[in-house]
Amino acid sequence: MKKEDHKVQKFDTRKENDLFKTLILTSKRYKLWVAFLLLVILIGLFAYYRQLKYGLVVTAMRDYTSWGVYISNFVFFVAISLVGSLFSSILKLNKNEWAKPLTRISEIIAVSAIICAAAIIIVDMGRPDRFFNVIRYMRIQSPIIWDVIIISTYLVVSFLLLYLSVLPDLALCRDRLKDIPKWKKRLYKITAINWSNDPEQVRLLHKITKILSIAVLPVAFAIHTVTSWLFATTWRPGWDSTNLGPYFVSGAFMAGAAIIIIAMYFIRQNLKLKAYIREDHFDKMGKLLVLLSLVYLYFNINEYLGPAFKMVGVEGEHITELFAGKYAPMYWLVQIGGLILPIALLLFKSMRKPLPISIISTLVILGAWFKRFLIVIPSLQHPYLPIQDVPESYRHYVPTWEEWMITLASFAWFLLIITILIKLIPALPVQKHDHVSKSNPILNLIKNES
Amino acid sequence: MKANYNIISSLKLGLAIFFLFFSTAVVLAQDSDAMEDANIVLSFVDDASSHKIIAKATDKNGEPIADLDLYFYVKRTFSNLPFGDVFNTTDEDGTVAVDFPKDLPGDHEGNVTIFVKIKDSDLYNDQTIETVKNWGVPTALDSTTQKRTLWAAGANAPIPLVLIISSLIVSIWFIIFYIVHILVRISKIRSIKT
């Protein structure tokens, strides 16, 4: 199609205009961004090819540190995925109206994060072709099996959460978007499953949305608690704690809120949605982030105070390593830069403006990622039953370039899923189906088509 | 010059072939002559204070073999445990007696498998004689491996755990299937109308 022929379709309302415009127009910047992400993924795929060919020996993981950067990354993505439930369940059920426009973003992030988490587990397996043996010869006593079950369940639940909220908008896309390729039209037609704003449809959708928003809460708590049990049920210093479940869950909500703020900032800037993602959204998210960070700080103090006071044996060695040993710089950067400083800064109203709060949230996210590294790796280097005459390489863990590239590729993959999804579905809800049923019962969309 | 050279090289070749045949013949002769099977008869002495195993070695003519090293082992889970002295050499009657330790665990009936071996002898072929004796301390079967425990095989998972996990899975997947079912109903609403 020639450029001059290309007229941007006009819509009835300003909101539709603003939100649908990004679905029709593809900017050069968008294409460049996708190309960049694909490039990172390709390099990651090459690293993974090397890992498949030569085995896990290309990583720095050895007998002591058998869970490396992959598993810390996995825990990070599981944490991020919890954000879907924060918005679609906790804030929704508490009738926080302001959070409604952000629900879609949170659900998109949840879906892409849980996909990445599931994929990283496969990457961490030395023989991914034997994955189905995990199911075939499963031992229900193993926390790893609990994790496999809960992750696959949460994957489905996250998809459903996103789908239920996006369904009326998919129908709207099907009916309103004219200037789009055929495959997109087909996609909207199939995914909109004959949605026509029929009162009965609206009633049923309301019903299942409510059921799901209640059901997702225990699943979300379970997914991260079970992930924490992978550690809590393994006999290593630093993990031998009853605090681990709530510690992980609270950390997840904090990281989730931070990533939403970053996503809000980029979507607001790039999709020009300043009228919909307003400054007071950032302000409220800032307050929420402070609250969640304070809860996480509380569990952090719980987690470290006891062992640090007693300094018993290997547990003491582990604490020394974190507080004053080789992991001390990372530990204090994470605790101060990623937790205490953000809390202190976000107490000021001027810091809760879009740009400053996005920078602070980036600090929180970086802190959250390295915090998972600190939870997984130093513990593994202090086994309760040391091996005799261990090779020097077992005592240290510095990830290889293959591990870093695969990890970076997982981030690129995460961002790519979000990038593609916000190109396919409106980043904010266009139709408020709660209003439709009252003020405008049937929007006869079939008529509009013909 | 050339003729001389040829003669010398054919002489060398001939010599080499001769040595080859000669040494082969020597080796073959050694094999058939020197190595033979020894005959070992074991007898066991049981009394209150000790268990003793007496081995008597004879050659093919029934003559006792003196100065033959025998090795005594008892079979354990992963390898064989030697018992007796470092060297257990037969006397002029061809016999050697070795004490069997009284405190070795056997199977649940107290049976142990004993091996008597000839190894690396210059005159006799290697051989192993295996016998089962009721000389071990009976060990109780570790019945926990058969029970339903957290550390048992998947098939022996504790029933409460299986019930709790299955009911959790069933309840959440019931909700998921219910939601999918409603979605199917939603999709049919328009088709009924049209």
Given a cut of 80, whether residue A63 has pLDDT beyond it is yes
Domain shared by B127 and B154, yes or no: no
Q: Is residue B100 part of a domain?
A: yes
Q: Which pLDDT belongs to residue B77?
A: 86
The residue in chain B having the minimum alpha-carbon distance to the alpha carbon of residue A202 is B186
Q: How many domains does chain B have?
A: 2
Last residue of a domain, one of B105, B133, B161: B133
Report the residue of A137, A138, A141, A142 to disrupt the B interface, i.e. the one with the largest count of B CBs within 10 Å: A141
- A428-439 residue pLDDT tens: 888 764 444 343
Domain shared by B98 and B128, yes or no: yes
Q: Is residue A268 part of a domain?
A: no
CB-CB neighbors (< 8 A) of B180 in chain A: 160
Nearest residue to B92 via CA among B58, B60, B131, B45 = B58
Q: Which pLDDT belongs to residue A205?
A: 94
Q: How many whole angstroms separate alpha carbon A270 and alpha carbon A272?
A: 5
Q: Min CA distance, A78 vs chain B (Å)?
A: 19
Q: Min CA distance, A369 vs chain B (Å)?
A: 30
Q: Is residue B161 part of a domain?
A: yes
| Average pLDDT estimate for A355-370 | 96
Q: Which pLDDT belongs to residue B16?
A: 86
Given a cut of 50, whether residue A450 has pLDDT beyond it is no
Q: Is residue A81 part of a domain?
A: yes
Q: Is residue A20 part of a domain?
A: no
Given a cut of 60, whether residue A6 has pLDDT beyond it is no
> Do the beta carbons of residue A259 and residue A251 sit within 8 Å?
no
Q: Which pLDDT belongs to residue A47?
A: 97
Given a cut of 60, whether residue B152 has pLDDT beyond it is yes
Nearest to B179 among A160, A218, A219 (CB): A160
CB-CB neighbors (< 8 A) of B150 in chain A: 141
> Cβ A208–B178 below 8 Å, yes or no?
yes
> Cβ B154–A141 below 8 Å, yes or no?
yes
Is residue B104 less than 8 Å (CB to CB) from chain A? no
User: Please, what is the Cα angle at A340 between A334 and A346, to 5 degrees?
Assistant: 120
Domain shared by A99 and A205, yes or no: yes
A20 SS3 class = helix
Domain shared by A355 and A371, yes or no: yes
Q: Which pLDDT belongs to residue B74?
A: 93
Nearest to B186 among A139, A157, A205 (CB): A205
Domain shared by B115 and B166, yes or no: no
Domain shared by A409 and A312, yes or no: no
> Do the beta carbons of residue B89 and residue B98 sit within 8 Å?
no
> Cβ A208–B190 below 8 Å, yes or no?
no
Q: Is residue B138 part of a domain?
A: no
Q: Which pLDDT belongs to residue A13?
A: 79
Q: Which pLDDT belongs to residue A161?
A: 93
pLDDT band for position A3 (cuts 50, 70, 90)? very low
Q: Is residue A274 part of a domain?
A: no
Q: Which pLDDT belongs to residue B28?
A: 65
Q: Is residue A242 part of a domain?
A: yes
Sign of CA dihedral A99, A105, A106, A107: positive
CB-CB neighbors (< 8 A) of B156 in chain A: none
Domain shared by B124 and B170, yes or no: no
Domain shared by A339 and A215, yes or no: no
Q: Which residue has the higher pLDDT, B18 or B74?
A: B74
Q: Min CA distance, B183 vs chain A (Å)?
A: 8
> Cβ B176–A156 below 8 Å, yes or no?
yes
> Do the beta carbons of residue A271 and residue A421 sit within 8 Å?
no
Q: Is residue A303 part of a domain?
A: yes
Domain shared by B55 and B104, yes or no: yes
- A233-246 residue pLDDT tens: 998 889 989 999 99
Domain shared by A160 and A94, yes or no: yes
Which residues from A are below 8 Å from B when comparing CB atoms?
137-141, 146, 149, 153, 156-157, 160, 164, 167, 193-196, 198, 200-201, 204-205, 207-208, 211-212, 215, 218-219, 222, 446
Domain shared by B48 and B129, yes or no: yes
Give the DSSP letter string of A372-439.
Answer: HHHHHHHHHTS-SSPPTT--HHHH-----HHHHHHHHHHHHHHHHHHHHHHHHS-SS-S--HHHHHHH
Q: Which pLDDT belongs to residue B30?
A: 59
Domain shared by B89 and B175, yes or no: no
Domain shared by A227 and A297, yes or no: no
C-alpha distances (whole Å) from A336 to each of A211, A330, A339, A367 are 40, 10, 5, 9
Last residue of a domain, one of A324, A350, A383: A383
The pairing of beta strand B95-100 with beta strand B51-58: antiparallel
Q: Is residue A376 part of a domain?
A: yes
| Average pLDDT estimate for A337-344 | 96
Name the burial class of residue A6, with classes exposed (0-12), middle (13-18) and buried (19+) by CB atoms within 10 angstroms of its CB.
Answer: exposed
The residue in chain B having the minimum alpha-carbon distance to the alpha carbon of residue A141 is B150
Domain span at residue A363 reads 236-259+280-383
Q: Is residue B26 part of a domain?
A: no
Q: How many whole angstroms separate alpha carbon A106 and alpha carbon A260?
A: 6
- What's the first-to-final CA gap in chain B, in angstroms? 115
Q: Min CA distance, A349 vs chain B (Å)?
A: 42
Domain shared by B152 and B119, yes or no: no
> Cβ A212–B194 below 8 Å, yes or no?
no
Given a cut of 50, whether residue A348 has pLDDT beyond it is yes
pLDDT band for position A440 (cuts 50, 70, 90)? very low
> Do the beta carbons of residue A293 and residue A284 sit within 8 Å?
no
Q: Is residue A448 part of a domain?
A: no
pLDDT band for position B192 (cuts 50, 70, 90)? low
| Average pLDDT estimate for A266-275 | 90
Least confident of A108-117, A140-149, A273-282, B41-50: B41-50
Q: How many helices (H) and strands (E) does chain B have?
A: 2, 7
Q: How confident is the prediction for chain A on average, in pLDDT? A: 89
Domain shared by B127 and B155, yes or no: no
Q: Which pLDDT belongs to residue A41?
A: 97
Given a cut of 50, whether residue A2 has pLDDT beyond it is no
pLDDT band for position B190 (cuts 50, 70, 90)? low
> Cβ A198–B153 below 8 Å, yes or no?
no
> Cβ B152–A137 below 8 Å, yes or no?
no
- B26-71 residue pLDDT tens: 766 555 556 888 899 999 988 878 889 999 999 888 889 989 999 9
B42 SS3 class = strand
Nearest to B187 among A141, A164, A194 (CB): A194
Q: Which pLDDT belongs to residue A442?
A: 39
> Cβ B175–A194 below 8 Å, yes or no?
no
Domain span at residue B90 reads 39-133
Mention every residue, 6+ apart, whose C-beta is less than 8 A from residue B164.
none
Domain shared by B88 and B46, yes or no: yes
Domain shared by A286 and A366, yes or no: yes
- A278-332 residue pLDDT tens: 999 999 999 999 999 999 999 999 999 999 999 998 899 999 999 999 999 999 9
Given a cut of 80, whether residue A1 has pLDDT beyond it is no
Domain shared by A110 and A49, yes or no: yes
> Do the beta carbons of residue A170 and residue A419 sit within 8 Å?
no
Q: How many whole angstroms separate alpha carbon A335 and alpha carbon A371?
A: 8
What ipTM was assigned to the predicted interfaces of this complex?
Answer: 0.88
Last residue of a domain, one of B133, B156, B175: B133
Read off the pTM.
Answer: 0.78
Q: Which pLDDT belongs to residue A209?
A: 93
The most confident of A272-276, B59-63, B121-125, B169-173, by mean pLDDT: B169-173
Q: Is residue B9 part of a domain?
A: no
- B2-12 residue pLDDT tens: 556 688 888 88
Q: How many domains does chain A have?
A: 2
Is residue B143 less than 8 Å (CB to CB) from chain A? no
> Cβ A141–B158 below 8 Å, yes or no?
yes
Domain shared by B62 and B111, yes or no: yes
Given a cut of 90, whether residue B24 has pLDDT beyond it is no
Q: Min CA distance, B83 vs chain A (Å)?
A: 29
Domain shared by B57 and B87, yes or no: yes
| Average pLDDT estimate for B109-128 | 90
> Cβ B175–A193 below 8 Å, yes or no?
no
Q: Is residue B118 part of a domain?
A: yes
Domain shared by A209 and A301, yes or no: no
- A147-190 residue pLDDT tens: 999 999 999 999 999 999 999 999 999 988 888 899 999 999 99
Q: Is residue B11 part of a domain?
A: no
Q: Is residue B121 part of a domain?
A: yes
Nearest to A138 among B154, B161, B172 (CB): B154
Domain shared by A378 and A409, yes or no: no
- A195-243 residue pLDDT tens: 988 899 999 999 999 999 999 999 999 999 999 999 999 988 899 899 9
Domain shared by A174 and A254, yes or no: no
Least confident of A349-358, A397-406, B16-25, B101-110: B16-25
- A364-381 residue pLDDT tens: 999 999 999 999 999 998
Domain shared by A212 and A241, yes or no: no
